Structure 1
């Protein structure tokens, strides 16, 4: 029967187009539902007078910039999950063919998932980073932008095309380990919680939450650096405005707030990623199962 589909076979039964569609819906749902908390995290990470202390009190316009996420998250997550499923099957097949790690099935699957997550993240971030820059500019409490188009035009006019990609190396240095850890941890916990392998929504939610919390806690310092670079053009601080890359941003953060500065926004980041990752995986797995069972 359709409801008895083995979860492990879903990647083979669903097409790349179905995986992409499920991924797009998961990405939009994930980002939109958790957007207000993400806005608070951004405001806490910005180095502005009293920003960290007042971020939780700044409840105005927490949804500003959400359309940038909708425009970017759909295509980016479609590519993300489609590439992930393809690469995961490919890497698993290669490891099986060469009998690599054959005595440790769980380790082999985790390694394949981590490698596939890294490949998927590279494509995702190249598409999503410009939209993320716009989103974070609009999330700032003192932002004067009223639409995605006006923000994009203003950034391009004052800072050029490079402003949309200045944080890409830092984003990749954060996202690749984040997604590799997240995908590997998700697959591990999903199998541990529900070893039977059939479609089980509870296992997707719990495994997703644990994976999101674990991966986000490790990569918070890189996220703080990324935020500083993406919002530098909106800063009134000359030194921040002149930050040209990873090293400059890291140095500024350390000078202003020592090692504690690299964990600004830690709590809202965890509060964002645990439920958002749970939402993303549960929505993705449901639609992948639904679309593949309809064919």
Structure 2
């Protein structure tokens, strides 16, 4: 019996992996989504890093995002807002390719691709597994990025490769992964919360689970902002650990883990210190998540359409 030429794109659950969508195509879509996500809001991410650092040199950033952006641009030059972005471009592509490949595979194994059914547990679990795998690849690039985002970094590092060599020579390989446990303590609950919210919001907005860019964008933005706000304390500690090697504070340079970081932060700044940079973090994450899901689903739709046409 002859097979139909192609199924329309909208017949697929937009979060599932269609039978004619290859692993390589999925990873390509994920890589494109990751680069788009990180690069679009990079200047705000740089401001968030400056706000989170325990360093008197960065205390003149101001209290608001706009004020901090203006001061950084006028004192260090407009291009300082993009210092370290090369590290994100190099790392985000492969890391997000691994992320979405792992997410789709685990969700499929857990039966989360059954159309028309709400699968919050499968979404949360697959998201957590995806972030564990992708963060193992991305963490060194994130360390380099944040080292280049700190004040006066241009006097220490000429490029991401120069920064990587400097960190390795001065602090060893462990410096690239000292924040990995703390990163996971943030990204695993972040991803679980994000996907729980995303699955619930997108199911409510689009019960038929047909391809809908508006759903991807809005559900992703709300879910990302919600998860970002709740996990800000872990992000502050992660920044502390990843930038400790550039600190002039002797006590800060000896911090070697999450608990020690929490203790020092509480001693210096109290409970409020754990939510430093929450506004730029949420402002960065909401559009970034919206861009990520929109770019990923648009890429996936393109490949599905191309595969259907060629078949």
Question: Normalised by the size of structure 2, how large is the TM-score?
Answer: 0.88
Distance 1:113 1:87, change over 3 A: same
Structure 2 stretches lacking a partner, 5+ long: 1-6, 63-67
- Residue matched to 2:129: 119
Secondary structure of the corresponding residue to residue 170 of structure 1: helix
The Cα of 1:2 is off from its aligned counterpart by 2.9
**C-alpha distance in structure 1 between counterparts of 2:38 and 2:219, whole Å:** 18
The equivalent residue for 1:138 is 148
Which residue pairs with 2:213 in the alignment? 201
Separation in structure 2 between the aligned mates of residue 45 and residue 8 of structure 1, nearest angstrom: 37
Q: In structure 2, how many angstroms separate the alpha carbons of the residues matched to 1:74 and 1:52?
A: 33
The one of 5, 8, 18 equivalent to 2:11 is 5
Give 1:212's match in structure 2, choosing from 203, 224, 228: 224
- What aligned pairs does 1:1-295 form with structure 2 within 5 A after superposition? 2-8=8-14, 10-13=16-19, 14-49=21-56, 51-54=58-61, 56=68, 57-59=71-73, 60=77, 61-92=80-111, 105-106=117-118, 109-143=119-153, 144=155, 145-295=157-307
Q: Distance in 2 between matches of 1:292 and 1:122?
A: 28
Unaligned runs of 5+ in 1: 97-103
Structure 1 ranges of 4+ moved more than 6 A: none
Q: Distance in 1 between matches of 2:31 and 2:271?
A: 37
Distance between the aligned counterparts of 1:292 and 1:209, measured in 2?
25
State which drifts further: 211-220 or 140-149.
Answer: 140-149
Contact 1:18 1:292 in 2 (8 A): no
Moved more, 9-18 or 28-37: 9-18
Aligned positions, number: 285
What is the CA deviation profile of residues 227-254 of structure 1, one whole-angstrom value per residue up to 9, with x for unaligned ones?
A: 0000000100000111111111111110
Give the whole-Å Cα distance in 1 for the aligned partners of 2:202 and 2:281: 23
1:99 corresponds to: none
Q: After the TM superposition, which of the residue ranges 178-187 and 219-228 deviates more from structure 2?
A: 178-187
- Cα deviation for residue 105 of structure 1 reads 4.4
**Contact 1:45 1:52 survives alignment (8 Å):** no
CA 1:148–1:6: 2 relative to 1, 3 Å = same
RMSD, aligned α-carbons = 1.7
